[in-house]
Structure 1
Amino acid sequence: MSLIIINQYYAPFHAATGQLIQELAEYLVSKGKRVTVITGKNGEYDLKDEEIINEVQVIRIKNRKDGIKRIKKFLSYATFYFRLKKRLKKIVEDGSIVLAMSTPPYIARIPLTLKKKRNVKLIYNVQDLYPEILLALGKMKENNIIYRFLHKIAEMIVKGADRVIPIDESMKEILENNYKPLKNRITVIENWALKELGPNGFQKKSSKKLTILYSGNMGRAHEYETLLKAIKGSEKSEMDFIISGGGYNYNQLKREVEDFPNVIFQDFVSKEKLPDLINKADICLVIGNKNLSGIVVPSKFYGYIACQKPVIYINSGEDIISKHINNGNLGYKINNGDSKKLIDMLRKLARNKDEIRKIQKNVAIYSEKLNRNNSLERYYDLICKMEESI
């Protein structure tokens, strides 16, 4: 019996979902499962159409390159979406299990059409909630005809899936309220830190200045103004900021403070180089949005904790990350817009690094609760149970 995983990104791309799916696929193969990943070329047309990577069969669909502009994103999504259906029909077997991610949005609708014809079981993994994210960001109104159409598609997927896997309890609540009844078909499985990330062998480089790191995507869903004002109001002799990644708001931030002597901007780094990057920091930033709690969950948090780094979470809302920080005393939480509190906190930490070392001990203990194998094993158990029911 085969397992097919669908996600627009996979190795060699640095997208967080692609890296997580690679770890999941390789873990399942190590447990004896036969796994095929269908992914996109995303404009890199020299990539092989098919290859085996660490015993995982990888099939790539020719789709357009993604980008910051909406039209580029749409064309990248659309070309992947429309070419997926033809390819999936060719390789899906009777009784297959398909795990479809929510990236790109609504891609799970394709395997849903094969459920009855091929007796396919569908697992829908929800990383971001669409179209709720459009509503929360003010891009659409609830009575908008396009929003209602997109909501109908989302409802079709959620109700048609055999299992729905959100990554946050708050996300589960929204799904149950908006698309009930889900009964016993919904299970929360958190994301995890990549296996390359951990405390072993990585020692903090000595520096008198406080080093603050933001690593990863900084898109429209990441409120950046609080950080922007904090950088502008910071003491340049006391702290350095490293901003590594990309995205729409990354470019907005870079445009404003690129010339500041205590701010370093750099592109995404590979997962092999990520531990060294995180190790340069005294404390790491996670940015959310008060309107997106339960709709988007920043997965970079798990990598920071695995490397035993204290975090500052900029988010007025409450979600699973807020709970972890509070339960484990893993760092600080700042409301969106409260740049003064962020500046005061960074100044205090710059002048008293012993406070960071105290929190780091809490992080080291708590990181065991977020062990990557806990989540991976839960996926394995879920898939085994679904195989038994076919």
Structure 2
Amino acid sequence: MASKQRRVLLVNRYFHPDTSATSQIASDLAAFLAGQGWEVVAITGAGRYDEPTRRLDSEAVLPGVSIHRVGPLTEAGPSLLRRAAAALAVHAALAFEVWRRSRAGDLVVVKTDPPLLSVSLLPVVLARRLRQVNWLQDIYPEVAAELGVKAGRGLLGGVLRSLRNASLRHAVMNVAVGDGMKTKVAGFGVPASRIATICNWCDDRRIQPADAEPNRLRRDWGLQDKFVIGYSGNLGRAHEIDTLIGAARLLRDEPGIAFLFIGNGYLIPCLKRAVADQGLETMFRFRPYQDAGTLPQSLTVPDIHWLSLNPRLEGLIVPSKFYGIAAAGKPMIAVMARDGEISSLIRRSDCGAVVAPGDSVGFATIVREWRSRPDLLAEKGRNARALIDSGLDRLSSLHGWQELLLSVEGPAKSRAPRP
């Protein structure tokens, strides 16, 4: 008997059991939809975000989700040409697998890793008569152009933008992760009826404000008596570190202040060099990525979290780590544009402070004030958690996704399995 089960394909370079943010939210959505009775097919790459040369276990499963891993490992050495070739191979492998696994009328949710994946999949979407939903975590080639990558500008950049815009206009829906990004997408000529905003999320049931018990990681890392400014995750090209380094210089004579960085990323070596050059080594601690099971504890180690985004990238990227910090009930200092997506959330909820890039004095002043006002620090932390509980929680976003997919799916069809 033909099945009327709703069917969705989800395409992203990283997926369960990879623990990167892009993988976790994709895996969360897949597992949720499977639990709601959808047939879910995940098409993903073979590697891990934090260890690009390590192949994921092909036997790893997510209950209710059919996972298909394809393509080469994406780390191709320092050569830009080899990296470009590896990226193209991933695009081709994902597109071919969508062709193999899809059926006419299927929904296909396309994330933006690798960049411009919606462009690679558009011919398959057209040929197989699929209903494409683009899930925009960032907007390329504009991000590349703002970061100084030549391919994002000039003639090639113009061609890529035209192809990207065509893939957005053809989609039945484009999901932005912030209102600023939604405005950007509308500027590409995409009808407003085909753009929605659904914020990213974290596992806010597992990530909770710290209780009165001493944090084990604070003890293990020698931070029991420190006032800690922390960062957790990938410190990539989109961030701005000069303001933080300047603030550290101003705070170097303040006893007991420590800066903690958990994770890795393009700017970590730059930060380490700057710290060494300016004699700030005693103030800084660097730790590797922690196991996913440790995240609820590691997020509660800092007294204050630091967030940053190059102002030129507002509307092109939304720092999703905001949600984990807020769920942990921690206040934050955001070094970014004052009118940006996350800056506006921080101001409205009074869960932190926004500092303009370059204002190291302002950054240091806030640290001193909050350190002397534990009551104020605690209040801002409570406000952060309250913001998550007011509708930015994981379950609300997942239900929002299901409602959106139902709205663009069209009538359920009887579909015989493809031979």
1:36 deviates by 1.2
Say yes or no: does 1:172 pair with 2:182: yes
Q: How does 1:227-242 map to 2 (within 5 A)?
A: 227-235=244-252, 237-242=255-260
> Structure 1 residue runs of 4+, over 6 Å off?
none
**Contact 1:289 1:317 (8 Å CA) reproduced:** no
1:80 deviates by 0.8
- Which residue does 1:386 correspond to in 2? 408
Say yes or no: does 1:16 pair with 2:37: no
1:60 deviates by 0.8
- Which residue does 1:103 correspond to in 2? 113
Give the counterpart of 2:388 among 367, 377, 380. Answer: 367
**Contact 1:2 1:93 (8 Å CA) reproduced:** no
**Contact 1:64 1:79 (8 Å CA) reproduced:** no
Worse overlay, 302-311 or 53-62: 53-62
**Contact 2:134 2:171 (8 Å CA) reproduced:** yes
1:367 deviates by 2.2
1:54 deviates by 2.4
Worse overlay, 232-241 or 59-68: 59-68
1:65 deviates by 3.2
- Which residue does 2:219 correspond to in 1? none
Q: How does 1:32-111 map to 2 (within 5 A)?
A: 32-42=37-47, 43-44=52-53, 46-49=55-58, 51-66=60-75, 71=80, 73-111=83-121
- Which residue does 2:415 correspond to in 1? none
Worse overlay, 327-336 or 8-17: 8-17
- Which residue does 1:126 correspond to in 2? 136
For 1:68 and 1:114, the matched residues in 2 are separated by 30
- Which residue does 2:34 correspond to in 1? 29
- Which residue does 1:279 correspond to in 2? 300
AA matched with 1:383:
L
The structure-2 alpha-carbon separation of the partners of 1:375 and 1:189, relative to structure 1 and needing over 3 Å to count, comes to: same
Q: TM-score, normalised by structure 1?
A: 0.92
- CA deviations on 1:37-77 (whole Å, 9 max, x unpaired) are 11111355643446532221111113233489572653442
Worse overlay, 40-49 or 111-120: 40-49
1:319 deviates by 2.4
AA matched with 1:260:
E
**Contact 2:118 2:134 (8 Å CA) reproduced:** yes
- Which residue does 1:291 correspond to in 2? 312
- Which residue does 1:251 correspond to in 2? 269
For 2:306 and 2:335, the matched residues in 1 are separated by 8
- Which residue does 2:220 correspond to in 1? none
Say yes or no: does 1:351 pair with 2:372: yes
Say yes or no: does 1:112 pair with 2:130: no
- Which residue does 1:305 correspond to in 2? 326
1:201 deviates by 6.5
1:202 deviates by 4.4
The structure-2 alpha-carbon separation of the partners of 1:69 and 1:24, relative to structure 1 and needing over 3 Å to count, comes to: farther
Structure 2 stretches of 5 or more lacking a match? 1-5, 216-223, 413-419
Identity within the alignment, %? 25
Worse overlay, 10-19 or 131-140: 131-140
- Which residue does 1:325 correspond to in 2? 346
Structure 1 stretches of 5 or more lacking a match? none
- Which residue does 2:239 correspond to in 1? 222
1:89 deviates by 1.4
**Contact 1:212 1:242 (8 Å CA) reproduced:** yes
Worse overlay, 158-167 or 46-55: 46-55
The structure-2 alpha-carbon separation of the partners of 1:68 and 1:245, relative to structure 1 and needing over 3 Å to count, comes to: farther
Give the counterpart of 1:150 among 154, 160, 168. Answer: 160
The structure-2 alpha-carbon separation of the partners of 1:325 and 1:110, relative to structure 1 and needing over 3 Å to count, comes to: same
Q: TM-score, normalised by structure 2?
A: 0.86
Query: How many pairs align?
Result: 389
The structure-2 alpha-carbon separation of the partners of 1:45 and 1:338, relative to structure 1 and needing over 3 Å to count, comes to: closer
Give the counterpart of 1:266 among 262, 278, 287. Answer: 287
For 2:102 and 2:202, the matched residues in 1 are separated by 30
1:351 deviates by 2.7
AA matched with 1:180:
G
1:237 deviates by 1.9
Q: What SS does the corresponding residue of 2:98 show, helix, strand or coil?
A: helix
